[in-house]
Amino acid sequence: MAHLLVVESWVGSMSRLLPRAIRESGHEFTFLTRDLHHYVRSAPEGTAHPLLGARNVITADTNDTEALLPQVERMHTVFGFDGVITSCDYYLSTVARIADRLGLPGPSAEAVENACRKDATRRVLADAGVPGPRFAVHEEWADIARAAREIGYPLVVKPVDLCAGMYVRRVDDEAQLAAAVGVLADFPVNARGQRRAPVVLLEELLDGPEVSVETVSHAGAVHVVGVTDKSIGGAPAFIETGHMFPAALTSADAGAAEQTALGALKALGLTDGVVAHTEIKLTSTGPRVVEVNPRPAGNRITELVRHVTGIDLAAAFVEVALGHEPDLKRTDTGLRSAAIGFLVPETAGTLEALDGSRLPDTPGVLEVQLAEPGRQVKAAGSNNEYLGHVMAGDPHGTGARDRVEALLDEVRSGLVIR
């Protein structure tokens, strides 16, 4: 039995998947947080709270890394941690620095920090010759406006240190650019109380579909688990509306996406102790890297992978954090594809009606989660405002996405927001 230090977490699906994987792997964990109430108020309904499985729950300022490191060292002398892990993007760099300090397994802090900062990722990949969009990074408006003209409209405006598609916007002219930059400037602190970098990343708008490559790195070898597709909506935002695993691609396109992702991981130095989710655009001129995320995919993509291959990426995440070789053996699950679709609100108001009660009994349905009436709703601007999801599988081929879309259409027909 190993003892993991878990530093913060998301409050979504990974908040349950990661503790479950630790428990089912025969290990235990201590949970470290700056705000326990953040998790208590988001307790999952109908199931035991995942933190009840923790050996210890300790409060410390996880946003002050310099002060945290000596505290964790003292904890380590008492508890003897074998690995350190987080599912929350905002603490991946903190975990990497803790691992370095305690001599625990994991990628270098520099590699993780470069992957977590979108501007640093762009620079590292460009220097290594890994294909990506033309880009520029600036803080002052005059420099931003000039760079936008040089790249050419339309383009994409991004914060360099947020996630879930927050404040990522397509802009078609300078007026839209000014508005997007202004909105971003009014969000100086992220959802975990960390001060944001005030710089803005501008990127060439890439054509073509977007996919993600799911990988597991251990002992210098990167194993490709597969390629997931992605549907996008909510323009001018880029909201993920659904995914299917495996993506319905030709072998040539899938291979090109995989090789591009491998090149990005190698350039960043993420070849040991990492489960990664690398987003790729399959453009008319070849694959281009969108982002490299040094943690398992969100939006329950890990569950799509598990339903099709039997591979548990949350469990693999635990094992590589301990320096162990992960179990990546595929099993026959009876499914050839699995897909998830999200219910994305387009208007604000109060959710008055949303009925999916018959869906759990529908053949092929794997999961249904829908918001309860009475909830206050705002029009979605990122991946944080979903009203729920439907997941389904196909035992014969890549028909799971069509099945999910048909089911979501049925749910939407009864959706009332006033």
Give the residue ranges of DSSP H helices in 4-108: 14-24, 36-40, 65-79, 92-102
- Tokens 């130095």 — which residue? 269
Q: Which amino acid is at 141?
A: W
Residue 93 has a pLDDT of 98
- In the structure, what pLDDT confidence band is assigned to residue 395 with cuts at 50, 70 and 90? very high
47 pLDDT more than 90: no
Question: Lowest-pLDDT range, 34-43, 72-81, 215-224, 394-403?
Answer: 34-43
Q: Do 277 and 296 touch, CB atoms closer than 8 A?
A: yes
Q: Quick one: which H or E segment has residue 162?
A: none
32 pLDDT more than 70: yes
Residue 269 CA from chain centroid, whole number: 19
Q: What is the DSSP letter of 110?
A: H
Q: Do 210 and 238 touch, CB atoms closer than 8 A?
A: no
Q: Quick one: which H or E segment has residue 319?
A: helix 313-321
Question: Lowest-pLDDT range, 78-92, 188-202, 331-345, 372-386?
Answer: 372-386
Assessment of whether the complete model's pTM goes beyond 0.85: yes
CA nearest 159: which of 109, 107, 194, 112?
194
Instruction: Give every CB contact of residue 157 below 8 A, 6+ residues apart in sequence.
Output: 167, 168, 169, 170, 171, 177, 180, 181, 184, 200, 201, 202
Express each pLDDT in 224-265 by its tens digit: 999 999 999 999 999 999 999 999 999 999 999 999 999 999
Express each pLDDT in 184-198 by its tens digit: 999 999 999 999 999
- Residue 58: both structure tokens together: 């300790």
CA gap 115, 124 in Å, rounded: 9
43 pLDDT more than 70: no
Question: Lowest-pLDDT range, 38-47, 60-69, 116-125, 274-283?
Answer: 38-47
